[in-house]
């Protein structure tokens, strides 16, 4: 087990280096003079040259990347062009808000999707099942930003019982969390249903029923536990989607998280901030994914042995 | 040769026969055809410059009526005309980015699966890295670095889909690459590109096709999100995401401004999802529950 954990952590390193490499190069190979941009269009040539020297922009992009990576290893991803504060510091000030939002989004989506998926599978082809599937299909197709706008329109402007933005009240998170988690909720409902349908036809379920165990326990204890495995495996992908989607949600609801920070930095053309945030978000997503995987390996002995054989 | 043609045709017919049976897939297909047709015939009903672009301050904020079924926006432009012309942009972004990125992904995935070894490792690690970055963030980085124009948007929203194609193609290549007919083709001296394109890839067609249909939907949604964030096709071009963002400022009094563009995006994505699900069931009956 320890060997597996170490291996997974070691595998993260090339991914993170690769991500930083790709993001850094995209931004630095792009046309446009960074020094001129920071100095402002009315600055004289001497100021631009001074800034260029200070930032070391006259070096080749590879040298700059090496320097950036070396700084990154020491927890320094440069300064924001705009506020002269370290990128890492600003990022971690904003991170808790995004994590809080993601937590509520995940909670919301699971609380709705699991019962919905299980019930649809148990009552396959019933009216309930059909309604739930249409609902899930609409949920997959509705764009997050439109859902957010509709939410504000209905709950904040027409009914006036939820705030349309900010995080001043304890219930401020409700609309953003539902908006952000809606797509995941729809996807998880569909996945839970199909995975339940697969499990529920297996022989051991028939055996359990034949033994006279109540339907409730058969479904919840015997079937659901196995049906959840594929759902948990894809949870990581949804998480990536959700943290990415936070840029849109946080922008709509003025939620003071990392997504909003990225959006603001783009508007100000603070590319150093954007690069740093994207790299840090990716690192955090990778770490959360790793934790999910580890918990999952511990929980499911079947996977532990397969990994033991395949990787070990 | 003759026989081969018949076979290909019958496979297509068989798929179509199964697809036709699925009511939801047919709804999706009809919806999609409707959207494509309205995008194609837009010039017959509306003039791009006078209806979709030209400002007419006197006619601003007209709620939906017989002259303007979707109302007019803050510049007095016909919202219906803008929604219809917006379909052209979304469909072009979806199709072109899908074509480009699908080709790149399939090529990389097929060669990775076929050649294996170090090359495969490099390609697959590349796919892992691209997949680790949340797709919308990758798109934001690309567009904000290279500037906002149609081509950059197409590439930006497409790049994140490449790893999916790589993975799917490689996986299905691996299932056929060791079969005897591939060995036979090699034995009669077929060249490597010929083996890959003529013998291996046709067998991987089904999963790639399904993936492509569903990806067009996500790409369109993502391009609209970019526009919504102000990183899309520059104004005054009618684009659904940008129309929503503009309408937001006035939605307290004129809710229809955010209704129609949003509905258009949703219906487009819905049609592609329905069709994609149906195609998956039709092309691969094993997956059908």
Q: Which of A264, A284, A283 is nearest to A274 (CA)?
A: A264
Q: pLDDT at position B286, please?
A: 59
In chain B, residues with a C-beta closer than 8 Å to the C-beta of A251 are 229
Q: pLDDT at position B32, please?
A: 94
Nearest to A26 among B142, B241, B258 (CB): B142
* Cβ-defined contact of A22 to B289 (cutoff 8 Å): no
Q: pLDDT at position A296, please?
A: 74
Average pLDDT over residues B212-233: 90
Written as six digits, the tokens of B188 are: 């009669």
Q: pLDDT at position B44, please?
A: 83
Encode pLDDT of A68-78 as tens digits: 888 888 888 88
Nearest to B132 among A138, A247, A282 (CB): A282
User: For chain A, what percent of residues have pLDDT higher than 90?
Assistant: 17
Q: pLDDT at position B122, please?
A: 92
Residue A284 has pLDDT above 90, yes or no: no
pLDDT band at B8 (very low <50, low <70, confident <90, very high): low
User: For chain B, what percent of residues have pLDDT higher than 90?
Assistant: 31
DSSP string for residues in B141-210: HHHHHH-S-HHHHHHHHHHTTHHHHHHHHHHHHHHHTTSHHHHHHHHTT--HHHIIIIIIGGGGHHHHHH
Contacts of A275 (CB under 8 A, 6+ apart): A23, A24, A27, A77, B141
Q: Which ipTM did the prediction report?
A: 0.84
d(CA A192, CA A238): 14
Encode pLDDT of B96-141 as tens digits: 999 999 999 999 999 999 998 899 999 999 998 998 888 888 998 8
Higher pLDDT, B105 or B45: B105
Structural domain boundaries in chain A:
9-73, 91-269
Encode pLDDT of A181-231 as tens digits: 998 899 999 999 988 888 888 888 888 888 888 888 888 888 888 888 778
* Cβ-defined contact of A143 to B229 (cutoff 8 Å): no
Written as six digits, the tokens of A203 are: 């022989």
Q: pLDDT at position B3, please?
A: 53
d(CA B81, CA A43): 44
Lowest mean per-residue pLDDT among A96-105, B165-174, B202-211 = B202-211
pLDDT band at A299 (very low <50, low <70, confident <90, very high): low
Q: pLDDT at position A160, please?
A: 79
User: For chain B, what percent of residues have pLDDT higher than 70?
Assistant: 95
Query: A110-116: which pairs have CB atoms within 8 A and are 24 or more residues apart?
Result: A110/A185, A110/A188, A112/A185, A112/A189, A113/A184, A113/A185, A113/A186, A113/A187, A113/A188, A113/A189, A113/A192, A114/A188, A114/A192, A116/A189, A116/A192, A116/A193
Q: pLDDT at position B36, please?
A: 93
pLDDT band at A246 (very low <50, low <70, confident <90, very high): confident
Taking each helix axis from N to C end, the angle separating B117-132 and B162-176, rounded to the nearest 10 degrees, works out to 150
Nearest to B136 among A152, A247, A267 (CB): A247
* Mutation site, B159, B223, B225, interface A, largest A CB count within 10 A: B225
Q: pLDDT at position B288, please?
A: 46
Encode pLDDT of A14-60 as tens digits: 888 999 999 888 888 776 667 777 777 677 777 777 777 777 777 77
* Mutation site, A143, A193, A286, interface B, largest B CB count within 10 A: A143
Query: What's the mean pLDDT when you consider all of chain B?
Result: 86
Encode pLDDT of A258-278 as tens digits: 999 998 888 887 888 888 999
Residue B37 has pLDDT above 90, yes or no: yes
Encode pLDDT of A162-182 as tens digits: 777 776 777 788 889 999 999
Higher pLDDT, A79 or A179: A179
Q: pLDDT at position A308, please?
A: 52
d(CA B74, CA A40): 33
Q: pLDDT at position B289, please?
A: 40
d(CA A247, CA B134): 11
Strand partners, A86: A79
Query: Given CB atoms, is B155 within the 8 Å cutoff of chain A?
Result: no
Taking each helix axis from N to C end, the angle separating B240-248 and B256-283, rounded to the nearest 10 degrees, works out to 150
Average pLDDT over residues A120-144: 91
Q: pLDDT at position B22, please?
A: 84
Residue B129 C-alpha from the chain's centroid: 22
Query: What's the mean pLDDT when you consider all of chain A?
Result: 83
How many contacts, defined by CB atoms under 8 Å, are there between A and B? 129
User: For residue B284, what are the CA distances in angstroms to A228, B14, B276?
Assistant: 24, 11, 12
**Four-CA torsion A27, A29, A35, A40, nearest 10 degrees:** -70
Strand partners, A79: A86
Higher pLDDT, A306 or B71: B71
Average pLDDT over residues B12-20: 83
Q: pLDDT at position A304, please?
A: 60
Written as six digits, the tokens of A255 are: 């939620």
Residue A96 has pLDDT above 70, yes or no: yes
Considering only alpha carbons, which residue of chain A is nearest residue B228? A145
* Cβ-defined contact of B244 to A149 (cutoff 8 Å): yes
Residue A311 has pLDDT above 70, yes or no: no
* Cβ-defined contact of B129 to A143 (cutoff 8 Å): no
Q: What is A91-269's CATH number, 3.40.1280.10, 1.10.3720.10, 3.40.640.10, 3.40.190.290?
A: 1.10.3720.10
């Amino acid at each position: 087990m320890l060997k597996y954990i170490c291996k997974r952590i070691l595998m993260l390193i090339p991914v993170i280096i690769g991500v930083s490499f790709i993001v850094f190069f995209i931004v630095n190979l792009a046309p446009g003079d960074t020094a001129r941009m920071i100095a402002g269009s009315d600055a004289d040539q001497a100021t631009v040259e001074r800034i260029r020297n200070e930032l070391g922009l006259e070096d080749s992009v590879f040298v700059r990347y090496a320097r950036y990576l070396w700084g990154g290893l020491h927890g320094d991803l440069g300064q924001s062009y705009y506020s002269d504060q370290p990128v890492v510091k600003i990022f971690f000030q904003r991170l808790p808000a995004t994590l809080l939002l993601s937590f509520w989004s995940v909670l919301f989506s699971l609380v709705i999707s699991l019962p919905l998926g299980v019930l649809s599978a148990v009552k396959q082809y019933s009216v309930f099942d059909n309604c739930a599937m249409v609902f899930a299909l609409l949920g997959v197709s509705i764009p997050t930003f439109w859902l957010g706008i509709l939410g504000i329109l209905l709950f904040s402007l027409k009914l006036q019982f939820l705030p349309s933005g900010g995080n001043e009240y304890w219930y401020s998170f409700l609309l953003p969390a539902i908006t952000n988690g809606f797509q995941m909720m729809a996807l998880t409902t569909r996945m839970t249903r199909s995975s339940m349908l697969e499990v529920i036809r297996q022989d051991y379920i028939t055996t359990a029923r034949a033994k006279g165990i109540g339907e409730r326990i058969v479904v919840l204890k015997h079937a659901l536990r196995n049906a959840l495995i594929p759902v948990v495996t894809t949870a990581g992908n949804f998480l990536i989607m959700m943290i990415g989607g936070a840029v849109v949600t946080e922008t709509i609801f003025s939620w003071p998280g990392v997504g909003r920070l990225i959006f603001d930095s783009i508007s100000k053309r603070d590319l150093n901030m954007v690069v740093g945030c994207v790299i840090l978000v990716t690192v955090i997503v990778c770490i959360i994914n790793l934790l999910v995987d580890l918990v999952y390996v511990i929980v499911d002995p079947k996977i532990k042995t397969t990994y033991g054989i395949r990787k070990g | 040769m003759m026989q081969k043609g018949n076979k290909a045709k019958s496979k297509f017919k068989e798929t179509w026969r199964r697809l036709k049976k699925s009511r939801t897939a047919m709804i999706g297909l009809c919806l999609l055809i409707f959207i494509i047709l309205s995008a194609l015939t837009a010039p017959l009903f509306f003039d791009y410059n006078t209806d979709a672009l030209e400002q007419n301050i006197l006619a601003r904020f007209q709620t939906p009526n017989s002259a303007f079924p979707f109302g007019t926006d803050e510049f007095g432009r016909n919202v219906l005309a803008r929604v219809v012309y917006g379909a052209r942009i979304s469909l072009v972004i979806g199709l072109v980015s899908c074509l480009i990125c699908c080709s790149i992904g399939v090529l990389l995935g097929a060669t990775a699966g076929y050649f294996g070894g170090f090359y495969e490792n490099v390609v697959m690690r590349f796919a892992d890295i691209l997949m680790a970055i949340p797709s919308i963030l990758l798109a934001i980085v690309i567009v904000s670095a290279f500037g906002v124009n149609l081509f950059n948007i197409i590439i930006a929203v497409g790049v994140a889909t490449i790893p999916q194609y790589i993975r799917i193609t490689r996986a299905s290549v691996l299932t056929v690459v060791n079969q005897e007919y591939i060995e036979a083709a090699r034995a009669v001296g077929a060249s490597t590109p010929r083996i890959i394109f003529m013998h291996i890839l046709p067998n991987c067609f089904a999963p790639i096709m399904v993936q492509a249909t569903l990806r067009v939907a996500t790409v369109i949604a993502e391009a609209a999100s970019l526009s919504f964030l102000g990183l899309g096709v520059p104004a005054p071009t009618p684009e659904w995401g940008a129309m929503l963002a503009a309408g937001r400022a006035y939605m307290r009094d004129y809710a229809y401004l955010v209704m129609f563009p949003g509905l258009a995006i949703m219906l487009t994505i819905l049609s592609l999802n329905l069709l994609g699900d149906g195609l998956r069931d039709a092309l691969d009956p094993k997956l059908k529950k």
